[in-house]
Amino acid sequence: MTIETPVFEESVVEVEPARGPMDWVRKNLFNNWYNTVLTLAMAALFVWAALALARWLLGADFEIIRVNLRLFMIGRFPADQLWRPWVATFLIAILIGVVGGSLAATARDRAVEAGLPFTETTFRQVLSRFWPIIALVVVILAFTTTITPTLLTLLAAALGVGAYFLGRVLPRAVRRWTWGLALLLIVATYLALAGFGGLGWDDWGGLQLNLFLTVAGIMIAFPLGLLLALGRRSSLPVVRTISVTYIEFVRGVPLITLLLAGAFALGFLLPSDVRPGFVTRMLIAITLFEAAYIAEVVRGGLQAVPRGQVEAAQAVGLPTRTTMRLVVLPQALRATIPAMVGQFISLFKDTTLVSILGVTELLDATFIVNSQSDFLGQGLFVVTLAFAGLVFWVGSYTMSRESRRLEKRLGVGER
């Protein structure tokens, strides 16, 4: 008996490769009658929206933004103190530059040490990475009435770039102290803004206040949330109960409630000579709120670390604390990057809530300018809201992109 070899010729599916963009369009957008209808309808809608947007952009009067730009950026900060936010901007540009350059140099050294390929970051890559922010700065500068802000911004950019290259050429032994330099620069920034008989946080406003509340909120809430998450898993019943109670209480209350409590209850309870300023109380409320959410995000990450990791660490004799610090937390935090950045993005947008307490942050500023006698009743909300929306979108979108970048980069060691 002979066994016939089956022939599978017919089972080969003919996949015709697409030839050119026109071919792709025909295959994917016009391959049957309902796709054709949908394509045409969507194209019509798109063209209509684009035309409407273009007509609005050309026709709209942006005078309201031009006049109030300073209010949007720094709130009611006195005009004769304007040098303070500018000096702060320079210091922050240097801070970002030095830290960025030093990190890049460390990454390069590590890659060289490990014999892995390392490609230098090109100028184009930097542009494509930060284009939303660069575009936003250009848009904002387009609204300025004098040349000074543009020149000062260029100076800040030059300082940042200079600091970046300085950070890159620093020898290793010096680079180890970059964090100290960063701390020094942060203190200097604070002094520039509030030192030398200057004004306190309470005088801040506009975008500056939103950014401050976001960055300070993250920096304080993150370690606090980490401790709460660890406390929730603690073997000590007292620590565990306190952590769980705190987390569940705060998560059961809207942020506005905490802000109101910070504004009124805290102000009422504490005597006036120890009572912190208004913005400080807002920061406390935001931090306490965020810490509870970050704790839950971290808890999710801790649960994602397999049990075998702890056992392997125990088996080589690592004490519990070292195991947590060097084995569990690095893996847990990496797993939480998407959720954590999501939390940071919503914190950035939630900072607008302090406006209900009469603090002139960006969103509030874009509202109140519509009551100015020059612009009253002209329906310019759409202009000012579009501006605020653009600023928040750029911030959130950049965070989201950076998060994805970080995930990818840390993905090297994935199992």
Partner 1 sequence: MTVQADYSDATQASGEAIIELQDVDKFFGHFQALKDINMKVGLQEVVVVIGPSGGGKSTLIRCINRLEKHDNGRIVVDGIDLSDDVRNIQEVRRETGMVFQSFNLFPHLTVLDNVTLAPRQVRNMAKKEAEALAMQMLTRVKIPEQARKYPGQLSGGQQQRVAIARALAMQPKVMLFDEPTSALDPEMIKEVLDVMVELARGGMTMIVVTHEMSFARAVANRVVFMAEGEIVEVGTPEHFFTDPQETRTKLFLSQIL
- Contact flag: residue 317 with partner 1 (CB under 8 A): yes
The answer to whether the CB of 298 falls within 8 A of the CB of 317 is no
- Contact flag: residue 315 with partner 1 (CB under 8 A): yes
C-beta closer to partner 1: residue 277 or 319: 319
Q: Which of 6, 308, 358, 377 lies at the binding interface for partner 1 (CB under 8 A)?
A: 308
**348-379 b/e (C-beta count within 10 Å ≥ 16 → b):** bebbbbbbebebbbbbbbbeebbeeeebeeee
Write down the least CB distance from residue 171 to partner 1, Å: 19
3-state secondary structure of 361: strand
- Contact flag: residue 76 with partner 1 (CB under 8 A): no
Q: Kindly identify the residues of this chain, within the stretch 329-358, that bind partner 1 according to CB under 8 A.
A: 330-331, 334
- Neighbouring residues of 4: CB distance < 8 A, sequence distance ≥ 6: none
How far is it, in rounded angstroms, from Cα 97 to Cα 90? 10
How far is it, in rounded angstroms, from Cα 77 to Cα 89? 15
- Contact flag: residue 235 with partner 1 (CB under 8 A): no
Q: Residue 98: exposed, middle, or buried by beta-carbon count in 10 A (0-12, 13-18, 19+)?
A: buried
- Contact flag: residue 414 with partner 1 (CB under 8 A): yes
Q: Which of 98, 226, 230, 327 lies at the binding interface for partner 1 (CB under 8 A)?
A: 327
Write down the least CB distance from residue 138 to partner 1, Å: 39
Choices 201-209, 257-265, 279-287, 327-335; region in contact with partner 1 by CB under 8 A: 327-335
* Residue positions counted in the chain: 415
The answer to whether the CB of 219 falls within 8 A of the CB of 268 is no
Instruction: Name beta bridge partners: 191.
Output: none
Write down the least CB distance from residue 311 to partner 1, Å: 5
C-beta closer to partner 1: residue 312 or 376: 312
C-beta closer to partner 1: residue 108 or 349: 108
- Contact flag: residue 115 with partner 1 (CB under 8 A): yes
How far is it, in rounded angstroms, from Cα 353 to Cα 213? 11
- Contact flag: residue 129 with partner 1 (CB under 8 A): no
3-state secondary structure of 337: helix
Which residues contact partner 1 by CB under 8 A? Answer: 113-116, 306, 308-309, 311-319, 322, 326-327, 330-331, 334, 412-415
